Amino acid sequence: MAEIQEYCEGLTHPHTWPQSVCLAQYSEDKRWYRALIVSDVTSAEEVEVMYVDYGNRELVSLTSLRSINEHFLEMKAQAFRCSLYNLIQPNGQDPFVWDEAAILAFQEFVDASSNHFELQCTIFALASRNNRELFNIVDLMTPFQSACQFLTERGVAKRLPPHTPLAASVQLHSFYYSMHEIKIGSEEDVFITHVDDPQTFYCQLERCAGVLLQLSENISHLSGTMSCLEAWQKSGELCLARYTDSHWYRGVLTKTKPTKEVFFVDFGNTETIGEDHLLPIPSDAHDILLLPMQAIKCSLADVTNVPQEATAWFKRAVLERQLKAIVVAKESGGKLERAAELLASEGKVGSDRDALLNEVEEEVQPPLSVEMDAESDGTCDPEGSCVVVVSALTVLAYVSYVNNPSDFYVQLASDEAQLHSISERLKDEMPAKIPCGQLLQAGDLICALYSDDSLWYRAVVKEKASDHLITVIHVDYGSEETVSLEMLKPIPCELLQVPNQAFACCLSGFSPSEGSWLSEAKDKMCISWVT
């Protein structure tokens, strides 16, 4: 920016017509900025310009334009056009016309959020109107809520169901992105579809198998009605590509010369494809275009500088296998940055760098035996991943927290050493904060600072209490507290596999008087059992 100011101070050459790219002097601060002329000259010798690094427009006198040096064109435009289109919709009939109340509410969300957090912009797709005006379909997120949530809760917009058809004037230039409601700390059944190395591999979710089957049927039906007539000109075009198994799959053209290469968005591999094995996707094929990409990009946790032989072993061990993945974190680019462990049905495939290298040194030995919860549903809740308690078992235990006699939490005395180990680990150095812009959801596992003793505890997000506060439950004790973002941190990955040390209980054979327990009952229970 400083270079542009120096350049324009000594420049007397006016803008050269009909060049639309120029430098323009902004009316408010009298500084020069990169701009694009978007209108003809008016009778007042003015043109409308758009400042490409900010997105705003204004009318500028011809005397406030300067020719641009090619050096200033090397950096891409820093502002990109965005829209909440097709995620939510105005209350009116026109999906592109927002009333003043909605505009003011959106501005309020942006201003309030920017004062407290850095907003995360999640890009779902690239589209255009009338094949001219490119825009990104996005949602803006803080750790507590998204712009779409905010506007629908305000009543100035309505949520659209998934895969709502686009307006006739809108064309997609990418497939839709989705995180498939994957939560930090969750366990997912996955199928590994493609492996580059332990830092980059792709998987499909087992729970999406039905969606993939329906997609395959839709593609088969469409491909049977089309012929390969289109001339493929540029990278980025959406297509159907025929793989070596003679089936058609969704893809994006990534290279056109000297040969054509296609990235298969539902599997993660890139292949060279002949032009006679490519088909365009009609803009009205919504069942194919609007379904989010099914290949999820992943990497192993804390694995760096993996030697070639270890990568080869990893490919043999996981490719085209159904495994369990434990999600530790998400990258800002949407990648599941750390799948803490990949677990085969008969044992552990890989969990850290040392294990990966040991497998190479020892050739390929049978995987280690590990116990897995066969009924795990991939969610995280205070009762869902606890120590195993058998019916009719009598054990020494401690009551750690009491809501009332029908809702209290118990720890096993035999788990005291485990509790101490967890506490000691949480005293160690931890990540600085929740990753910027990560939207916290009910069920996410985190660490929360407890106000009574200023120590860190494992916790699960229960609900959003306000725009800047969330309610958490301490999974090893059962206590509940409402905290701010500054009191939260990501949970160390090695503690994700440790079961919750407190489990919910209720008294057997008792019922509350007239529908609710008296406060005296809770107080007496706390005095008798907790203390």
Q: What is d(CA 167, CA 472) in angstroms, rounded to the nearest whole number?
A: 41
* Phi, psi (degrees; rounded to nearest 5) at 259: -125, 165
Model confidence at 373, pLDDT cuts 50, 70, 90, reads very low
Strands 133-141 and 82-83: parallel
Instruction: Of 126-130, 161-165, 382-386, give the lowest mean pLDDT range.
Output: 382-386
Instruction: Of 26-35, 173-182, 341-350, 387-396, give the lowest mean pLDDT range.
Output: 341-350
Mean pLDDT of 496-517: 74
**Would you state the pLDDT for residue 44?**
87
* Phi, psi (degrees; rounded to nearest 5) at 479: -70, 155
* Backbone region of residue 301 per phi and psi (left: phi > 0; alpha: psi in -120 to 50; beta: other values): beta
Mean pLDDT of 337-362: 46
Mean pLDDT of 54-67: 92
291 versus 342: the higher-pLDDT residue is: 291
**Would you state the pLDDT for residue 243?**
95
* Phi, psi (degrees; rounded to nearest 5) at 354: -65, -45
pTM above 0.75, yes or no: no
What's the chain's average pLDDT? 81
**Would you state the pLDDT for residue 375?**
30
CB count in 10 Å sphere of residue 373:
12
Q: Residue 347 above 50 pLDDT?
A: no
Instruction: Of 12-26, 32-46, 442-456, give the lowest mean pLDDT range.
Output: 12-26
Q: Indicate the Cα dihedral angle 234, 235, 237, 243, nearest 10°.
A: 120
Contact 48, 37 (CB under 8 A): yes
**Would you state the pLDDT for residue 368?**
25
Instruction: Of 34-38, 48-52, 339-343, 451-455, give the lowest mean pLDDT range.
Output: 339-343
Q: Residue 454 above 60 pLDDT?
A: yes
**Would you state the pLDDT for residue 194?**
96
DSSP 339-408: EEEEEETTEEEE-SHHHHHHHHHT-SPPPPP----TT--S---TTTSB----TT----EEEEEEEETTEE
**Would you state the pLDDT for residue 471?**
92
CATH class of 2-73: mainly beta
Q: Do domains 2-73 and 213-289 have the same CATH topology?
A: yes
CB count in 10 Å sphere of residue 511:
10
Q: Residue 185 above 70 pLDDT?
A: yes
Q: Residue 361 above 80 pLDDT?
A: no
Q: How far is CA 98 from the centre of its chain?
A: 27
Q: Tokens 């000259």 identify what position?
A: 41
Model confidence at 519, pLDDT cuts 50, 70, 90, reads low
Q: Where are the domains of the chain?
A: 2-73, 82-172, 213-289, 397-515
Contact 188, 182 (CB under 8 A): yes
Reply yes or no on domain 397-515 having CATH 3.40.50.720: no
Q: Residue 169 above 80 pLDDT?
A: yes
Largest CA distance in the chain: 91
**Would you state the pLDDT for residue 79?**
92
**Would you state the pLDDT for residue 525?**
56
CATH architecture entry for 213-289: Roll (2.30)
Model confidence at 69, pLDDT cuts 50, 70, 90, reads confident
Instruction: Of 24-38, 84-98, 368-382, give the lowest mean pLDDT range.
Output: 368-382
Q: What is d(CA 374, CA 170) in angstroms, rounded to the nearest whole number?
A: 45
Q: Residue 135 above 90 pLDDT?
A: yes
**Would you state the pLDDT for residue 96?**
93
Max avg pLDDT among 251-255, 343-347, 483-487? 251-255
The pair of structure tokens assigned to 117 is 């957090």
Q: What's the Cα-to-Cα distance from 491 to each of 264, 328, 442, 495, rounded to whole Å?
A: 34, 8, 15, 7
Max avg pLDDT among 335-344, 379-388, 512-521? 512-521
266 versus 299: the higher-pLDDT residue is: 266
Q: Residue 244 above 70 pLDDT?
A: yes
Mean pLDDT of 488-513: 79
Instruction: Of 97-106, 288-297, 308-317, give the lowest mean pLDDT range.
Output: 308-317
**Would you state the pLDDT for residue 515?**
57
**Would you state the pLDDT for residue 371?**
26
